[in-house]
Structure formats: C-alpha cells, structure tokens
C-alpha cells in the first residue's frame, strides 16, 4: 500500500492488471486499482535499437548463416506443413557440418566421451580397455575427477600435453611445448581471442589484418567487431586459388597508406577455396611475414582433409622451424585446429586448440587473463580434442575399428570431392578448380547479364539472387560468393561436398542443368 | 636451390640447420649450407608486446583467477615435489566449482548425457526409461540425431522450448516465449554478448554500465574489453548487502556528467555478497530502470541457491510482469541462468541460457547474426541445460533418486553456508553478514594498521597481502575483496562455502584464529 502510494506520488506510470493478475502482489494489485482509470500509454521507444546499438557489431556480416539460411529454414517449415515444392527436402550444403549430413561419429571417440560423462560405465564389460584407459587419464586430470568441474583457463594439463605430443609427431619431431597450447571453444574462439589481443590504435595506426579473398567470414566478422582494418589479398583463381607473395606485397604496401598492417591470416587447406598450399608457398609466406614484421595466424583446421594425391599438408610451424633459427626464434605464429572437421566432424562439442610460437611471455600472461574471464573452454570439447590427438595405436584393442572408420570417412570425402568437381565442370556456365583439400567447392558461375539485371531489380547481389533461386527451385542451400569475397565482376558460391551418396549426384546434376536452362532464358 | 639463391639475393636472414636438420627440405638445407657462415642475429623485437597490444584487453582484471590463484598452483606443485608446508593440500575456495570440491553430479543428468553421447546405450537395460526418453527427445532435435552437429546459433529448438516451459512454471504462469531464449556457453557468454551489442558512443556519450560493488568481476572485465564506462553503485554492507535505490539514483546522476548510462546490471542472489533481494527491492529497481530508461541485466544464476528460510527467489521477469503492462511491455530485460551453479554444479559443460524481454525485433536479428559467427554454444552444454530445466517429475522412474540427490546437495550447501557464517563470526577481526543465498561468504576483515603498512611495503593491496599470507600459511585460497570492489578503506575476501565436510571447519577455525594471532603481532 505504502509502495503503491509512493509510486502515485512520484507520478509513476499506470499499472493495470496483466493477464497474470491473480498472481500479482497485493501492492501491485492495489496500485493497479488506483491507477487503472488512466489510458494505457503507447509503447515507448526502445533503448536498444539499430540506431543506438554498437555500430561495429551492426557492421558484422556472416553469410554462412545469413539470409539464405534463414530462407532455407522457412522452406523446411513449409515442406513440413505440406506445401508442395519441386523437391522434398532442403540439402544444407551451406556449412561444414558432417554429422548433420549423416556422417557417423568415430566409435572410439564417443566411447571415451561416454565413459568420461558417466564413469559408472568404467565397470561395464561392453567398453574396450583402451577407451577406459583414455577416459581414466582425462578424468584424473579434471578437478574432482569430473567433466563437470572448471578446467584451468588454458585447458586441462594432460590434454595440452597430448596436443603437444601430437604436434611433435605430426611435424616429424619439431618439438611442441604444452605451455604454448591453449585449448579453445572450437577454432573460432582461438582466432577471435588472439585477434582481440592484437588489435590496437586509432586512425592511421589502426591494426590492419590481412586476410585472403575469398575468406572464411569469421575473419571479416571479428575484424569488424574489433574495429580493425580488413586488408584483402586475392587468391589466384586462374592458378587453382594459389597464394602469390607478390599479391601479399601489393596488399601490404597499399594498406600502409591508411593503417598499420600487423597480422597476416592464412587458411590452409583453403576455406572456401579447397586449395592446399605447397611447401614453397608456405616458405615464401613465412619469409614475407618475417620481412614485413607480421604476426602470422595459420588456420589449419582442415589439416586432415587433403584429397589430391599431388598435395600434402605442411604445417606452418614445421616449415618455420625448418627455415632455421632466424625464423623459428623470431616469427610470431598462432596456429589453430579443431574437433569439427577432419574425419571426426565433431562440430557440436566446440573443441579446438591454438599453438603459439614466439609469443612474448608477458603476452602469454595477458592471454591467460583474458581467457580466464570466460573461465574455461567446455571440458567435454577438451576431452574430444584429446581423443582426436591421442587416437588408438596399432596393438590397441580399438585400433582396427578406429582405423577402418577413419579411412572410410576420409575416403568418402575424397570421392565426394572428386565427384563434386566433375559434376560442376559438366554444367555449362560453371567452372570449378580442382578440389585438393578441405570440404568445399567454390565454383565460379557465369551469370548472364539479363540475370544480373534481374538481380539488381530485386536489390540483390547477382550471386545471392542465383543462390536464392537455386534454393527455391531445387532445395539446395549454398552460400553466395559475396559472403566470402570475390574479385569484382566474378560470381561464385560455396558448396559443401558432403551430399548424400547413392544417385543424388545425378539428381543434382539434373537440377543444376535444368537451372542453367532456366537462366539461359535470360541470356542476351 | 632456386629458392635458396633467391633468399640470398633478397639479402635474407641466415638459415642455419636447426636441431631437426635431418628433416629439413633440401632447399632449406642448401640455404643453410650457403648462409651458415654468417653470425646468428639476436632475437628481434616482438610484434605483440605489452606496449603494442590492445590497451582495453590490457586493462582487464579478473581476480577470481588472478595472482593468488597462480600462487596456489605454484604451492600445489611444491607440495607435489615434497616441499614441506604447514598444510598438506591447497583448499581452492576461490571459485564456485562444486564438483572440484567433491560434490557428486546428479545421476539423472549424467545418464541422459551419456545416452546422448553414445546412443548405443539406448539399448542398455542399465539406464532408466525416463532418461532414455529425454535423450531421444534431445537427439531427435539435433542434426543427424547427433550431439556432434552444430545446432542453430540460438540453440536447439526443443531445448529452448523446455527452457521456456521451465520459466513459465518457475514464474507461476507468466508465459515465456522460446523465441526469446538464447542458449549460451555458460552465463558469462550471454552477459558479454548482450553487453557487446549494447555499448556504443565515444567521449561523453560512451555507454555507462551500472554494476554493484562488490561485483562479480566478469562485469568489470567485459566493460573494460568493450571500452564502456563502469558506473559503480554500492551495496549496503551495514544492511546485509541490500540494494538501495537511492544509491542507484546517486550513481546514475553522477555518471551522467561523463557518460551515457544505458545498462543496469543486477546480481541476485548476490555474488560475491550472498544476499537475496526482496520482492519490494526488485520492484523498486524495475521502476528505477523504467524511469531512467536503463536496459536491465539480471544475473540470476544462483536462483536455486537460497538458504535463508526468510528469503525467496523472485525473478525479475515475474516481478516485471506483475507490475503491469506499462512495465512489462516497455522495460528491456535480459536474464541469465547457467548449468554451473544451483544443485547441478556442472561448470565444465558451459551450459546456460539468456531470456530477453522487449528486445526490438531488429536487435534480435542482430543478436542471432552475432551469435552465428561463433556457430553455436556447445551442444553437450545445451543438453545439460535441458536436463536442468526438464528434470524427472513425480511418477517417473528416476524421480526419487533425483529428488534425494538434489535435496542432499542443497541441504548440504545450506548447512555449510550457516557453518561458514558462524565460523567467521567467531574469529576476532572478521565480520560476516548472514548468508542468504548463492555460494559465497564475503566477510569483512579488519586489518591492523601495521599490517596495512607491511602490505604497502610489499606493494600489495592490504587484502591481497592478507589473502597471500593466508594461502602461504594455511593453504586456503580465497580472493581479495579488491578483485570485486569494496568501499575505500574496507577489506574483504570471497570464500566459497563448499569446504570438505567432516571436521574441516574446526581445522579451518583453528587456522583462522592462529592467523589472526599472527596478525595480532602487527597490532598498533
């Protein structure tokens, strides 16, 4: 009563009974009774609006889950409601989400995870001993022997040791130090965290971050969030999306006019472009970074996904060390890996790691401090990362099954990559570079000028218009090239090479051709 | 050879063989051979240093995992190496990490998680049917029926539905809309995401964010990262850490001189202060936010942790709706919950949700876009959140065990809170307010002026000096009050009330008293 009266005295707004009037406090109810004669006021202006919000966040773009994906969701709902379409399901080829496309998890990984989750199963005879051994090792390193405890901000110690041992094996003996390993919430988290520490300055001394075009749009999004300057270098489509150091030179020189280029990001194997860098190219890039004093970010999440027999994955870390001490003790490098890609495809667990080389000790302290604000990466994701880097070895009970599953997934991916490439190259108006690695095709599409005009009439980029039509007419959801960046006047889309096997490719080819016939109607 | 020669021509640095010379490429080896006569250069200046790094990140402080916790880690290593100390183990009372302190996970939660992780177990007779039912429901809502797929950026649909149903039950029928629920990577992620969208402006129009003092230092850390303005309002220690609206008024008026106060953060039940807000206080706060046009952030992660029989948890959402349509259709509110606290203590899974009220539809789009850059919260954490909001109900097979475990954990927490409060109040020089909720005590310590001088001589805040001594002499790791904020000239520490039961409290009391005797030696 006192409260209600006070509100009235203060000239407070009317409080009429809501639909939950029965549960209103007596004070609120009384206030309502006193005040309900006044007309209800109209809704006030919001505090948080497009105008008032953080402009850097507003500027963020992320096409992989952008308007085309929202449209795909709407079409799926329409199909569920029985609305007739020229297709019966939406094929979500917009994102590298292997298990959503039917890829089965690696049995050993899930067995260890289940044992860690519910340790009563450690007594069950239906789990192999090597899986139990892994689970015990992980649990012993967790507070209270539980995945439910926070880990150290940098990640569980023994998992960082396993990651370091893996890198050492992978790189043929170049040693890795667990102190340089930071477990992360997927690779995206590591990339955005290190960029967050790196950016500084205002005006002409704002940090410039060099990224490939086409790029994976996490980079442009984080650069925008951090108000850094995006410095584009173009991959050479005519040359199988190779990275040319002369193009890096051009880009950095031009950037110096308006910002302070400080970071060079490399994606190898390439996303969305599917190329695998040669050892020589990596040497050139490292030398360039050394020369130009650039901090190197090597996004190597597709390191297990190399399909072309002519290509091999070389880690930046290994090449850096092989180039000798001037490089290996000077070039600052952060490289990233993830549980989401490779043969595991465990995207949902959000596991990943970052290895840093030549990071200043004081910066390591800053990094741990920054990471500690979010407490720790998901411990289940850390456990998944452990199994990725510490799989069964010959002689262990689970080795044979693990090996068979791994080879089957990678073999299928290689076959599908080849199929996809061939398929696209059979369609008039599409050109696809050889798919050497990663999981995507980024074919070029030649859009007739009348179709470009039609797109402009719809206020859409021509490739967005193309992808939207493709989705509406065939149910195939792909991401327009403009979401990744492309040379002015060229058009592409990114397509996940994980389509359901068994004749689907032929259906797909039929649809593409059909679609191109439709487009042909717009030809000059 | 060509490459090596090119490097020489470019005047490149010397490349001497590293310890992994055997594995150097032939080009690298040749380059080394050509160049190794030159003296090795000294290490270059790093690109990323304390001077060049992001100054906003440098300004971040996060005491919960700060220097005292690093010191605790060092002491643990020394104990492992056999170095003698006046204690045999470090008690990590610095962080609310229940399972690390021996709390057992809730069986039902882990059973459902194990079933989701390794669906072969769905055929096992050792799992109850209600757990299987939950697991099937979750898996059916995941891409490819797998926790390994990415979820929608906002979280798995059916889990958001379960969260909405939970909120509706909790709030006695006030409806919640699944579209307003965003699953997050722990509550920290939700809080920093919404703050990231909210902050804008420069100079005098920089966004002011009001936070309680003492606060949970996530807030100050994120405010610093985002270059927003921290606006302190002081909780009333004399009055059991109550929130007084007059103090909010003072704080906002003073802040308007130098920034644009736009956000008001509330932590209820309080962290680190352990108070539970009365319904009247919440009404006052909501009215104040309405009046001053402030966006409300309600950190309600301790909603299940209320111990005092005189207190009850009231959600901001419920009170907002009960205050009538002027408030319920105008006040913008985001509230947060987590799997980490309550009776579950599942910190490691990093599960959480945010409910938004009256968020502008365009901002919802911006929020989904921003979240989509990180793809999705860990799906295992989402599943854990689902079980928290959708536990066994009477009549279900697992209900009895679940209920017993839940009551046991909460009963123990209540008992320990009371024990802790009494214990501290028996020690001369310590005063502890009643612990009504959450998991911490934030007792005031009266540090003798000679000890303050000793601290200054060590260039430490007096409470940091106290906590460091306490750690070194007793092995108890607590966080100094300065890490949370406190009124000038007062000193506190935060202590997790989860110490191992069974006589430890007596040991602890002995140690405290002993420590205060030591301190007494410094008395005036």
Full-model pTM: 0.88
Contact: A148, B349; criterion CB under 8 Å: yes
- CATH code: domain A62-102+403-520 is 3.90.1150.10
H or E segment to which residue B365 belongs: helix B361-373
Measured in Å, how far apart are chain A's first and last C-alpha atoms? 78
C-alpha dihedral (A129, A132, A137, A138), degrees to nearest 10: 150
Number of residues that make up chain B: 524
A123 φ/ψ angles, rounded to the nearest 5 degrees: -90, -5
For residues A120 and A132, give the distance between their C-alpha atoms in angstroms, rounded to a whole number.
11
By Cβ distance, the residue of A46, A295, A329 closest to B47 is: A295
Is residue A302 a contact partner of residue A263, using CB atoms and an 8 Å limit?
no
| CA-based torsion, B74, B79, B85, B91: positive or negative | positive
By Cβ distance, the residue of B103, B118, B329 closest to A110 is: B118
Contact: A172, B117; criterion CB under 8 Å: no
Closest residue of A to B151, CA-based?
A348
Contacts of B159 in chain A (CB under 8 A): none
Closest residue of B to A24, CA-based?
B322
Angle, CA of B86, B87 and B93, to the nearest 5°: 130
By Cβ distance, the residue of B149, B198, B322 closest to A20 is: B322
Contacts of A157 in chain B (CB under 8 A): none
3-class SS letters over A280-297:
HHHHHHHHHHHHHCCEEE
Locate the domains of chain A by residue range. 2-35, 62-102+403-520, 172-376
Contact: A117, B124; criterion CB under 8 Å: no
How many angstroms separate the Cα of B458 from the Cα of each of B445, B447, B451? 19, 15, 11
By Cβ distance, the residue of B46, B113, B200 closest to A54 is: B200
Give helix A157-170 / helix A129-140 axis angle, nearest 10°: 120
Question: What is the distance in angstroms between the Cα of B388 and the nearest Cα belonging to chain A?
Answer: 14
Domain A172-376, CATH class in plain words: alpha beta
Contact: A144, B186; criterion CB under 8 Å: no
Is residue B261 a contact partner of residue B210, using CB atoms and an 8 Å limit?
yes
Q: What is the pLDDT of residues A429-449, one digit of tens each?
A: 889 999 999 999 999 999 888
Query: Is beta strand B491-496 parallel, antiparallel or unpaired with respect to B479-480?
Result: antiparallel
For residues B275 and B310, give the distance between their C-alpha atoms in angstroms, rounded to a whole number.
11
- CATH code: domain B153-389 is 3.40.640.10
Contact: A142, B198; criterion CB under 8 Å: no
State the residue for tokens 């935060």: B494
Q: What is the pLDDT of residues A226-259, one digit of tens each?
A: 999 999 999 999 999 999 999 999 999 999 999 9
For residues B127 and B123, give the distance between their C-alpha atoms in angstroms, rounded to a whole number.
9
A259 Cβ partners below 8 Å, 6+ apart? A204, A205, A206, A207, A208, A229, A231
Q: What is the pLDDT of residues A43-69, one digit of tens each?
A: 788 999 999 999 999 888 877 667 888
Measured in Å, how far apart are chain B's first and last C-alpha atoms? 78
The runs of H, that is alpha helices, within B171-278 are 186-198, 218-225, 245-255
Q: Digits of tens for pLDDT over chain B (524 positions)?
A: 344 444 333 333 333 333 333 333 444 444 444 444 444 456 788 999 999 999 989 888 877 667 888 899 899 989 999 999 988 888 888 888 889 888 999 999 999 999 999 999 999 999 999 999 999 999 999 999 999 999 999 999 999 999 999 999 999 999 999 999 999 999 999 999 999 999 998 889 999 999 999 999 999 999 999 999 999 999 999 999 999 999 999 999 999 999 999 999 999 999 999 999 999 999 999 999 999 999 999 999 999 999 988 999 999 999 999 999 999 999 999 999 999 999 999 999 999 999 999 999 999 999 998 998 888 999 999 999 999 999 999 999 999 999 999 999 999 899 888 888 888 888 888 899 999 999 999 999 988 888 888 889 989 889 999 899 889 988 889 999 998 999 998 999 999 887 643 444 555 555 555 555 444 333 33
Contacts of A31 in chain B (CB under 8 A): 324
Give helix B399-426 / helix B107-117 axis angle, nearest 10°: 120
Is residue A72 a contact partner of residue A90, using CB atoms and an 8 Å limit?
yes
Domain B59-102+401-520, CATH class in plain words: alpha beta
A154 Cβ partners below 8 Å, 6+ apart? A160, A181, A182, A183, A368, A371
Q: How many CB pairs under 8 A join A and B?
A: 380
How many angstroms separate the Cα of A258 from the Cα of each of A220, A271, B53, B202, B359? 18, 28, 19, 21, 37
Diameter over CA atoms, chain A: 83
* CATH topology identical between B59-102+401-520 and B153-389: no
Question: What is the distance in angstroms between the Cα of A522 and the nearest Cα belonging to chain B?
Answer: 34
Contacts of B66 in chain A (CB under 8 A): 369
Whether the predicted pLDDT of A306 surpasses 90: yes
For residues A382 and A346, give the distance between their C-alpha atoms in angstroms, rounded to a whole number.
12
Whether the predicted pLDDT of A386 surpasses 70: yes
């Amino acid at each position: 009563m006192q409260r209600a009266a006070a509100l009235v005295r203060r000239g407070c707004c009317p409080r009429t009974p809501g639909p939950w009037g029965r549960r209103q406090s007596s004070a609120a109810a009384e206030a309502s009774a006193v005040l309900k004669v006044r007309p209800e006021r109209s809704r006030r202006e919001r505090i948080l609006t497009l105008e008032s919000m953080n402009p850097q966040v507003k500027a963020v773009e992320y096409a992989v889950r952008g308007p085309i994906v929202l449209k795909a969701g709407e079409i799926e709902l329409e199909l569920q409601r029985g609305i007739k379409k020229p297709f019966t399901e939406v094929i979500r080829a917009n994102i590298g989400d292997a298990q959503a496309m039917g890829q089965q998890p690696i049995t050993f990984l899930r067995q260890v995870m289940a044992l860690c989750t519910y340790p009563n199963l450690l007594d069950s005879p239906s789990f192999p001993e090597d899986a139990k051994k892994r689970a015990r090792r992980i649990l012993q390193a967790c507070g209270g022997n539980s995945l439910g405890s926070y880990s150290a901000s940098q990640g569980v110690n023994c998992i960082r040791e396993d990651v370091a041992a893996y890198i050492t094996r992978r790189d043929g003996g170049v040693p890795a130090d667990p102190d340089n390993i930071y477990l992360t919430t997927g690779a995206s988290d590591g990339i955005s965290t290190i960029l967050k520490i790196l950016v500084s300055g205002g005006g002409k001394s704002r940090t410039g971050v060099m990224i490939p075009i086409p790029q994976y749009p996490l980079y442009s999004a984080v650069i925008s969030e951090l108000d850094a300057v995006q410095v584009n270098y173009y991959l050479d489509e005519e040359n199988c999306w190779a990275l040319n150091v002369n193009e890096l030179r051009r880009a950095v020189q031009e950037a110096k006019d308006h910002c302070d280029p400080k970071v060079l990001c490399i994606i190898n194997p390439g996303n969305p472009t599917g190329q695998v860098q040669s050892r020589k190219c990596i040497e050139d890039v490292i030398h360039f970074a050394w020369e130009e004093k650039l901090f190197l970010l090597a996004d190597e999440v597709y390191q297990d996904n190399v399909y072309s027999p002519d290509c091999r994955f070389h880690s930046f870390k290994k090449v850096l060390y092989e180039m000798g001490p001037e490089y290996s003790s000077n070039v600052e490098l952060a490289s990233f890996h993830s549980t989401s890609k490779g043969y595991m495809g465990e995207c949902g667990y959000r596991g990943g790691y970052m290895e840093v080389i030549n990071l200043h000790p004081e910066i390591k302290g800053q990094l741990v401090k920054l990471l500690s604000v979010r407490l720790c990466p998901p411990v289940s994701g850390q456990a998944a990362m452990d199994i990725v880097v510490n799989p069964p070895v010959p002689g262990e009970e689970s080795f044979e099954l693990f090996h068979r599953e791994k080879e089957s997934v990678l073999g299928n991916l290689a076959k599908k990559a080849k199929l996809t490439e061939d398929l696209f190259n059979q369609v008039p108006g599409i050109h696809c570079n050889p798919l050497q690695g990663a999981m995507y095709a980024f074919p070029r599409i030649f859009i007739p000028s009348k179709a470009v005009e039609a797109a402009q009439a719809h206020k859409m980029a021509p490739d967005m218009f193309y992808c939207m039509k493709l989705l509406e007419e065939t149910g195939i959801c792909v991401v327009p090239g403009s979401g990744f960046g492309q040379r002015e006047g060229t058009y592409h889309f990114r397509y996940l090479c994980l389509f359901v096997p068994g004749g689907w490719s032929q259906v797909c080819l039929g649809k593409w051709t059909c679609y191109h016939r439709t487009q042909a109607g717009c030809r000059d």
